[in-house]
Amino acid sequence: MQPIRLFGDPVLRTPAEPVVDFDKELRRLVADLTDTMRDEGGAGLAAPQLGVGLRVFTFDVDDVVGHLINPVLEFPDDEEQDGPEGCLSIPGLYFDTKRRMNVVAQGFNEYGDPVRLVGTGLMSRCVQHETDHLDGVLFVDRLDRAARKTALREIRAAEWYDPAAPPPVKVSPHGLRGIFG
Ligand SMILES: [Zn+2]
């Protein structure tokens, strides 16, 4: 079992690559994601959250457990939903997040067979959240400016938060001239 990568880890900000080989290794990844998701009590888990840059996620919503590979989302209507959302990579924090109410996701299963997933409500929210992970997007990015500011403040104050990559020290142009003569 691998640890879940937390907010601040650059892998969560890196767009994942499409799966090309539907092999044993991929099925091992799907099993790892499923086990970890269930252990942590998550509604979904995306491969980048385990440090793997592939377009794969698992879901467990209302006792429907599955996975989707190389997902492409379509929205059949404009209906929206607004409600609390959380993320295993941002543990313990929940923020109301607007999402589309209905989604149709096309993709593949672990054997490379095409699959189609029609989701509404929580399932739709989960599919959008996990597909965002594959694009390096986190749910706090979806909040409006004021809510995002609050969320980021709470994240930075969280016990688990570790600024892995401190911001680089800014060097003024004058300073640069000094350094390079
Ligand atoms: Zn998440």
- For ligand 1, the distance from its centroid to the CA atom of residue 171, given in whole angstroms, is 35
Higher pLDDT, 39 or 168: 39
Confidence of residue 178 (pLDDT cuts 50, 70, 90): very low
- The pLDDT of residue 163 is 78
Residues 27-32, mean pLDDT to the nearest whole number: 98
- For ligand 1, the distance from its centroid to the CA atom of residue 24, given in whole angstroms, is 25
Q: Is 25 a catalytic residue?
A: no
- For ligand 1, the distance from its centroid to the CA atom of residue 152, given in whole angstroms, is 15
Rounded distance between C-alpha atoms, residue 30 and residue 58, angstroms: 7
- Report the percent of the chain where pLDDT is more than 90: 88
CA dihedral 26, 13, 127, 32 (to 10 degrees): 30
- For ligand 1, the distance from its centroid to the CA atom of residue 104, given in whole angstroms, is 19
**Active-site hit among 17, 130, 154, 159:** 130
DSSP class of residue 103 equals E
Rounded distance between C-alpha atoms, residue 95 and residue 134, angstroms: 20
- The pLDDT of residue 2 is 79
Name 60's Cβ contacts closer than 8 Å, sequence gap at least 6.
34, 37, 38, 42, 43, 44
Cβ atoms of 48 and 133 closer than 8 Å = yes
- For ligand 1, the distance from its centroid to the CA atom of residue 174, given in whole angstroms, is 42
- For ligand 1, the distance from its centroid to the CA atom of residue 65, given in whole angstroms, is 16
pTM of the predicted structure, to 2 decimals: 0.89
Residue among 64, 37, 35, 48 nearest 122 (CA): 64
